[in-house]
Amino acid sequence: MGIKRKDLLGLQNVTKQEIELILQTADSLKEIMNRDIKKVPTLRGRTVVTLFYEPSTRTRTSFELAGKFMSADTSSLSVATSSVVKGETLIDTGKTLDAMATDIVIIRHSAAGAPALLAKTMKARVINAGDGYHEHPTQALLDMLTMKQHLGKIEGLKVAIVGDIAHSRVARSNFWGLTTMGADVVLCGPPTLIPRDLTKAGAKIVLNMDEAVKDADVVMMLRVQLERQQKGLFPSIREYSQFYGLNKERLSLAKANALVMHPGPMNRGIEITSDIADSVQSVIEEQVTNGVAVRMALLYLMGGGVSDASASA
Ligand code: CP
């Protein structure tokens, strides 16, 4: 069993059946993380390379751990000390990795479309770990896994995604994935941070956060990208926090058992108060754990796992 498509570049064109397969596989592989010896032989002999042109804590580490738990040979190409600084192009870097018999490349890049270019020119399978404002498919998959584990389903859930939608690859991938799975997605943020492409795609936009959060099953907060604040897209951090921050009063408008999610890294006290980030409704740390499970599932399904994936070593 596996995923037929060569690469995973986004969730826009991924089917409900494919998403269900990934989530079911992740759900069963997650158990490996609770073992004393976190190692199965499933991907023995497979080579996985992470190629990150942008910083990452969660995504990069979880892909590397996922590969190691499944006995793949993992290698991390540090772009800052690679031949990229001597001017090597992305395509040539890809050819070089192909020449070293790499099976799967995980790429994060500031340019939207960089993973697609690499996928087109490489023999290895390519997984997008975040490209510009475009997509971050594995983040949305781990978010959906977390929702399914807590709420038992995705279809019919009201999911409010709040913050800088325009610059968020997390919001885009979640919009496509959750819509495919039948959730009711509401996007909320200042008008200057609502993108046209998702409005055109029929996304439900609500500018008032109280309205967006009302009766929600899930409130997903996005990081305020402080590095973009010089563009003046909203008047001040204080005002942003007042109108689009998640606090106790706002959360009380959502369903009683609503999940609080955040892809991380968080700006505590800006888009989310610390008490809410650490509250019983918060599943932020579980999202991180599910990130490893989802990435194990993808490496298994795309790396041609050869035996029962959860079998003991
Ligand atoms: N959520 C996420 O992509 O985090 P990192 O940037 O730490 O990988």
User: Ligand 1: distance of its center to the CA of 291 in Å?
Assistant: 10
Tell me which residues have their CB closer than 6 angstroms to ligand 1.
56-59, 130, 139, 263-265
User: Ligand 1: distance of its center to the CA of 251 in Å?
Assistant: 24
Q: Which atom of ligand 1 is nearest to the CA of 263?
A: 1
Can you tell me the distance from the alpha carbon of 222 to that of 218, in angstroms, rounded to the nearest whole number?
A: 13
Question: Smallest Cα–Cα separation from 270: which of 229, 248, 238, 235?
Answer: 238
Task: Specify the pTM.
Answer: 0.95
State the 10-residue block means of pLDDT for the chain, 313 residues long: 89 97 98 96 96 96 98 92 90 97 97 97 97 97 98 98 96 98 97 90 95 98 81 83 96 98 96 98 98 98 64 39
User: Ligand 1: distance of its center to the CA of 307 in Å?
Assistant: 30
| Concatenated DSSP letters of 59-111 | HHHHHHHHHHHTT-EEEEEEGGGSGGGGT--HHHHHHHHHHTT-SEEEEEESS
pLDDT value at position 311? 44
Q: Which atom of ligand 1 is nearest to the CA of 54?
A: 6
pLDDT value at position 215? 98
Q: Which atom of ligand 1 is nearest to the CA of 61?
A: 8
pLDDT value at position 261? 98
Can you tell me the distance from the alpha carbon of 94 to that of 163, in angstroms, rounded to the nearest whole number?
A: 35
Asked if residues 223 and 163 have their Cβ atoms less than 8 Å apart, the reply is yes
pLDDT value at position 82? 87
- Out of 50, 51, 53, 56, mutate this one to test ligand 1's pocket (max ligand atoms within 8 Å of CB): namely 56
Q: What residues form DSSP beta bridges with 107?
A: 51, 128
Ligand 1, atom 6, lies closest to the CA of 56
